[in-house]
Amino acid sequence: MSDPVAVRAALARALAPRHVQVMTPAAAQDQNGIVVTDATARRLGLHKVSDLRGVAGRLTLGGSPECPDRPYCLPGLRKVYGLGFARFLPFDTEPPRVTALRAGVVDVAVLDTTDGNLAVGDLVLLSDDRHLQPAENVVPVITNRAMARYGKRLAGAVNAVSARLTSKALLFMGWRVEVAGADVMTEARGWLVRHGILPRPG
């Protein structure tokens, strides 16, 4: 589903039997993205995923080991975009996919759309112009037990984060942590302080 409201409603129904409440979704989304190097994009004139239609048969795709079976990965790329790649190479995590892409081991890679490497400039995220990927907004969930203990104070805090969290913010923090080597907790706290959710130190 591409409608965040419908996704939230379905999630709430699914988690209700587990005594978990779904809070306000953030605008931020972290989806599967189809990525090429800037050099490949310029050489083949690639801007959107459908641009791969005429060249995929000569290219190698890198993705997670489950990509051949996931509806939003290889099967979806075949069904929605008509893409048949020459070869698929599996990589368990994103860092090896990024390295393989930059080294030319693969021509195309499936990465998270908020992967910090996308902020560097040498990689290009192709537009999902046929909307294969579903809405994948960041959504906080809280157990009924925690809600009973902390109530509105907890709900207000997580909803305040959702109200301010954007995909660009996730991309920047991803770059700070994945590429620049910053500490995760330091970056998270810094974001909360900048947005007035936590008080400034001192």
State mean pLDDT over 96-117.
97
The pLDDT of residue 202 is 72
The pLDDT of residue 5 is 87
Q: What is the pLDDT of residues 149-168, one digit of tens each?
A: 999 999 999 999 999 999 99
The pLDDT of residue 179 is 92
Query: Which of 1-15, 51-65, 78-92 is the least confident region?
Result: 1-15
Best CA proximity match to 136, nearest among 63, 32, 58: 32
Domain ranges of the chain: 4-28+143-194, 32-126
% pLDDT > 70, the chain: 100
The pLDDT of residue 65 is 97
If you write DSSP's letter for every residue of 7-76 in order, what string do you get?
HHHHHHHHHGGGTEEE-PPPS-B--EEEEEEHHHHHHHT-SBGGGGTTTGGG-EEEE-TTGGG-TTSHHH
CATH of domain 32-126: 3.40.190.120
pTM above 0.85, yes or no: yes
Q: What is the pLDDT of residues 164-202, one digit of tens each?
A: 999 999 999 999 999 999 999 999 999 999 999 999 987
